[in-house]
Amino acid sequence: MERSFVVKGDFCYSLGKEELITRENAYLVCINGSVEGIYETIPDRYRGLPLEDHSHKLIIPGLVDMHVHAPQFPFRGLGMDKELMDWLWSYAFPEEGKYMDPDYARDAYREFVRELRKSATTRACIFGSRHVEATEILMDLLEESGLITFVGKVNMDRNAPDYLKETSAQASVDDTRYWLEKVRNRYRRVKPILTPRFVPSCTERLLEGLKEIQADYRIPVQSHLSESPGEISFVKELCPWASFYGEIYQRYGLFGGPGCPTIMAHCVFSNEEEIALLKNNGVWVAHCPDSNMNISSGIAPIRKYLDGGLHLGLGTDIAGGSTLSLFRTMAQTIQLSKMYWRHIDPQYKALNMKEVFYMATLGGGEFWGNTGSFQKDFAFDAIVIQDDRIAGSRDRNLEERLERVIYLADDRNICAKYVAGEKLF
């Protein structure tokens, strides 16, 4: 039996948004890459399996990054004093333009993938650039890395510099079909995802073309939604017919529903109609607190979404966000929810540790099905954390140790990583 073994250690995982399970000094049995069960002692029938002994270390499901721009990795932490449009034109667009050159793309993406592999993230939904070749290079590198990802060649045929935007809606559609054919069945771990940048970057003709591609290929979709007031006004100008932003994606079949799993990043300022549609269509909201602060967007009403039953995950949103660390993203999610409660609306109480841990694991993981937990038959994605290196963690219970990891751990604390039962390190 490949990818079958027993792992010993201290386990934490979510059953749902309110239920955290902790199992100290236990044995998890992984069979063919999936969790078979967690036991106090190894059942006789599994005694022949190899043992991975991580005694006294914390083992949690691999974290899921629902929104990250790979080509923006080289300039994270830069230009943060600029307004969104100025930042896009002076940093994001010029950098993305460089991915026209496959050699540049290979070097830059190698760095991104290396850092992502070292991080606590096991799965991610990734924006590439609009270039087919660079996007393939990214997919090749990710396949090699052992991580499981969705990767999108970006569509953008307006409101960008000539060196970056696609020459027409048709060219964008053609390139996308060409790319989808090239990568079809090429990877075991990497899957394509349709990636219209956002409404300001995509003409309705382009969205119409993407609708047909989605109908033909039945692949998932990712984009941005209601990130900031300025963007929302601009969208209103561009599509006056729409009563709210999300309705535009909806019209073009790019907004969830059967056969179209969809992730929308941000949703900071979604109105009630939009929230209802997000829920009704089962769209995932990717909450990106670091970016929402850096880009001066605002604080998203995550408590409302969580209690309202929306699909929710976390995103680092490199380079609006500056770090790949989802530990940091979890802490920031709690922190911003406290500021929302304090300064915006006290009816929405702060999120707690269990809730953000759920979002970073099972909440996002469900985009892949049984992922993001150690429940039976879930893919065995896990990170092993040597948390005794965090001063003061002696004699803490598992829940306390998990909380400290969220606030204090970084990649130095990660001593092993598994994705669908494959050990990356």
Which spans of this chain sit near a second copy (rule: CB under 8 A)? 73-81, 108, 111, 115, 290, 293-294, 296-299, 322-323, 331, 334-336, 338-339, 341-344, 350, 352-353, 390-392, 396, 400, 403-404, 406-408, 410, 412
Report the distance separating Cα 269 and Cα 328, nearest Å.
23
For the bound state, the minimum distance from the C-beta of residue 201 to a second copy, rounded and expressed in Å, comes to: 23
CB closer to a second copy out of 14 and 322? 322
- 5-14, strands of its sheet edge to edge: 34-39, 20-31, 5-14, 51-61, 382-385, 414-419, 422-423
For the bound state, the minimum distance from the C-beta of residue 112 to a second copy, rounded and expressed in Å, comes to: 8
Using DSSP, state whether 126 is helix, strand or coil.
Answer: strand
Q: How far is CA 216 from CA 93, 181, 197, 213, 235, in A?
A: 30, 12, 20, 5, 27
Using DSSP, state whether 355 is helix, strand or coil.
Answer: helix
CB closer to a second copy out of 171 and 353? 353
Angle between helix 398-408 and helix 326-339 axes, rounded to 10 deg: 90
71, 106 contact by CB (below 8 A): no
The residues, any chain, with a CB within 8 Å of residue 36's CB and separated by 6 or more, are 29, 30, 46, 376
For the bound state, the minimum distance from the C-beta of residue 353 to a second copy, rounded and expressed in Å, comes to: 6
CB closer to a second copy out of 24 and 111? 111
CB closer to a second copy out of 29 and 58? 58
Sheet strands (E) in 70-177: 121-127, 148-152, 154-155
126, 153 contact by CB (below 8 A): no
For the bound state, the minimum distance from the C-beta of residue 270 to a second copy, rounded and expressed in Å, comes to: 16
For the bound state, the minimum distance from the C-beta of residue 76 to a second copy, rounded and expressed in Å, comes to: 7
For the bound state, the minimum distance from the C-beta of residue 403 to a second copy, rounded and expressed in Å, comes to: 6
* Total count of residues recorded for the chain: 425
CB closer to a second copy out of 113 and 206? 113
CB closer to a second copy out of 60 and 336? 336
CB closer to a second copy out of 159 and 296? 296
For the bound state, the minimum distance from the C-beta of residue 344 to a second copy, rounded and expressed in Å, comes to: 6
CB closer to a second copy out of 21 and 42? 21
For the bound state, the minimum distance from the C-beta of residue 6 to a second copy, rounded and expressed in Å, comes to: 31
The conformational region for residue 150 under phi > 0 = left, psi -120 to 50 = alpha, else beta, is beta
Angle (CA) 302 307 309, round 5°: 100
Q: What values do phi and psi take at 138, rounded to 5? A: -60, -45
For the bound state, the minimum distance from the C-beta of residue 51 to a second copy, rounded and expressed in Å, comes to: 31
322, 296 contact by CB (below 8 A): no
The residues, any chain, with a CB within 8 Å of residue 303's CB and separated by 6 or more, are 337, 340, 341, 348, 349, 350, 351
CB closer to a second copy out of 26 and 351? 351
For the bound state, the minimum distance from the C-beta of residue 343 to a second copy, rounded and expressed in Å, comes to: 6
Burial of 342 (0-12, 13-18, 19+ CB in 10 A): exposed
CB closer to a second copy out of 47 and 412? 412
User: Which amino acid, residue 362?
Assistant: L
> For residues 356, 361, 362 and 365, what is the CA-based torsion angle, rounded to 10 degrees?
130
